[in-house]
Amino acid sequence: MNRKIFIVLVFGIMFYVTGCSGKVQISGTVKYSDGDPVTRGNVVFESADSSYFGVINKDGTYITGGNKQVEGIPKGTYKVWLAQTESSENFFDENGTVVSYTITPKVAKKFTSSDSTDLIFEVKSGGTKTFNIVVEKP
């Protein structure tokens, strides 16, 4: 292999591995205004081009990652909203078949869509960033 090509490849790999890929991992908490944690769902970071998510843990913490998002989120401005935060209860007949269910929202509706959210987060280069989210109950 040509020495110049080899050097360019080595530096390119080092540049990517050391976090200069321009992607940032986001973490934080999702809590209600009274301080209680939101205990289920996903935090969605949505731009005009793409969306990324982090799963909300039972203690209200989240971190972006999983699937193709292991490296993090690219720089840019994102609308932030919550998905799958509602809970459901199934009702069964005598044969064990679900005959109906109820869905109970766990956060105010404005936080459940990119069209209605007022949460905006700008991702800048370098390392891990924290974005703590406060929402209202329904």
- What per-residue confidence (pLDDT) applies to 12? 42
CB-side exposure of 110: number of CA atoms within 13 Å?
7
Q: Who's near 28: CB < 8 A, 6+ residues apart? A: 43, 61, 62, 130, 131, 132, 133
CA dist list (Å): 56 to 19, 72, 82, 135: 25, 16, 9, 13
Structure tokens at 17: 């591995």
Mean pLDDT for 103-119 is 93
Quote the mean pLDDT of the chain.
82
pTM for the structure as a whole:
0.74
How confident is the model over 11-33, as a mean pLDDT? 68
Is residue 83 pLDDT above 80, yes or no? Answer: yes
Q: Which domains does the chain have, with CATH numbers?
A: 23-135 (2.60.40.1120)
DSSP, res 68: G
Banded model confidence at residue 130, pLDDT cuts 50, 70, 90: very high
CA distance linking residue 25 with residue 63, whole number of Å = 7
d(CA 27, CA 60): 11
Confidence at 89, pLDDT banded by 50, 70, 90: confident
21: confidence class by pLDDT, cuts 50, 70, 90:
low
Backbone angles phi, psi at 53, to 5 degrees: -145, 165
For the segment 65-79, what is each residue's pLDDT rounded down to a tens digit?
644 445 688 999 999
Residues 6+ positions from 17 with CB-CB distance below 8 Å? none
Average pLDDT over residues 110-133: 91
What is the model's pLDDT at position 65? 63
